[in-house]
Amino acid sequence: MSGKYTVILAAGQGTRMKSKLYKVLHRVCGKSMVDHVLTQVEKTNMDQVVTVVGHGAERVEDELGKRTEYAYQEQQLGTGHAVLQAESILGDKDGMTMVVSGDTPLFRASTFEDLFEYHKEKGAAATILTADADNPFSYGRIVRNNVGVVSKIVEEKDATREEAAIHEINTGVYCFDNKKLFAALHQVKNNNAQGEYYLPDVIEIMKSQGEIVAAYEMKDFSESMGVNDRKALANATKIMQERINDQHMANGVTLIDPDNTYIDVDVKIGSDTIVEPGVSISGKTVIGSDCVIGANSKIVSSKIGNRVHVTSSTIEESIMHDDSDIGPNSHLRPEAEIGEGVHIGNFCEIKKAKLGARTKVGHLTYVGNAVLGTDINIGCGVVFVNYDGINKHTSVIGDHAFIGSNSNIIAPVKMADYSYVAAGSTITDDLAKYDMGIARSRQTTKPGYFKKLPVYDAIKQEEAKQAENKD
């Protein structure tokens, strides 16, 4: 019984990236390049996937986990040598094997499926995935005979003037008869300037043996973009972002300025949500319907309910329930949970705290390591003091409590339902139901004290001068 297999080439170091990070792990719209490739491959129902790793092998395995098997290329001796490392896993199998590079994040599953179908239909030993390039410079050209059959692949440096004028290029993706692939790989030589074993040489070997070599021209050249440097990474990101944004708009999301809206590939957004310019939504964020995500907000791996308004704020690994709102210029740090109808105003920070329904935190407030009930009013400038220099402590505030402006809640402390804190207090002890805590000294008034200040004499002199001018 024949199967479908894929070999992903992910062993190259990628020196042109000028990076400490292994090339295929650079991210495009929230997902590493090699993960993009594997994700699309998985959609084609492969029987087995083998990823060939070398430099940074452990990092790639951490990234992809058990979604793929791995083969190791200890020395980087070319693409043909890389594929040969998968022989111990795939070599004895009947079926079709696709070879694709791990630095080509823009390929779609539908293109891979079309390649397999064309390969099968032609009964080919090898099928090259090609594309029509407006500027074919640096790509290998596909040379066909007068009836359209592939004669050879010619690299840029070896092409004649006529061959260089060809716009059909080799994308570097192939589909092979699996057993014939590995048989041919053993015949590839490394008599070239780099001393490497090149996968395209398999095509010449198969042609010389009378095998059928086909070429399938894909519709969208941009899918074939390989990423070898930072400029190409930026270009790939721009194309991927346009795809993502187009899909959200097709699903009923309003993007005011798609060119300045940055949404990761795994983000989900409900219909009739409006996203204003400069917004960044990343990770596995889920946003409900009828929300407004205001300009220059940043949302990371968070869950946002329906009818939520976010105004120029940052939300990280947090939850906002239906009908809540935040901002401008506020920050939800990880593990904040904002209940239904909660209002978080401007310049507030919430961290590892749960706020019950309809609670209001208007402005200039820090709530950390706290559990707040429903219908609480938090005044301006309140600080939940949660850190003693070694450990974080939790405060618990009951329903319908009131905390006056400029108060400090020193954890650990508990305030019962309907308890009250007078403005300007520092609360260190628990409060029972209906109690008010007040922790400040009584006001002392010193009559006429202003007259003792140096500024008083200056004011009197200025008043005398103005009086003279009037006369």
Residues with a known catalytic role = 363
Three-state DSSP state, 235:
helix
Phi, psi of 238 (to 5 degrees): -65, -45
| Residue 441 per-residue DSSP state | P
Q: How far apart are CA 356 and CA 150, in angstroms?
A: 68
Sign of CA dihedral 93, 181, 64, 237: negative
Token pair belonging to 96: 């079709």
Q: How far apart are CA 254 and CA 401, in angstroms?
A: 39
Distances in Å between the Cα of 118 and the Cα atoms of 114, 122, 134, 270 are 6, 6, 24, 37
Sequence letter at residue 334: P
Q: E-assigned strands of 102-177? A: 126-132, 141-144, 150-154, 168-177
| Residue 56 per-residue DSSP state | B
Sign of CA dihedral 113, 114, 119, 123: positive
| Residue 135 per-residue DSSP state | S
Sequence letter at residue 1: M
Identify how many contiguous H helices and E strands the chain contains and give both numbers: 10, 39
The distance in angstroms from the start CA to the end CA of the chain is 113
Phi, psi of 243 (to 5 degrees): -60, -50
Distances in Å between the Cα of 400 and the Cα atoms of 85, 352, 355, 397, 418 are 67, 21, 12, 9, 5
Of 405, 406, 407, 317, which Cα lies nearest the Cα of 395? 407
Of 175, 221, 241, which Cα lies nearest the Cα of 28? 241
CB contact set of 449 (below 8 Å; sequence gap of 6+): none
Token pair belonging to 326: 């935040």
Phi, psi of 36 (to 5 degrees): -55, -45
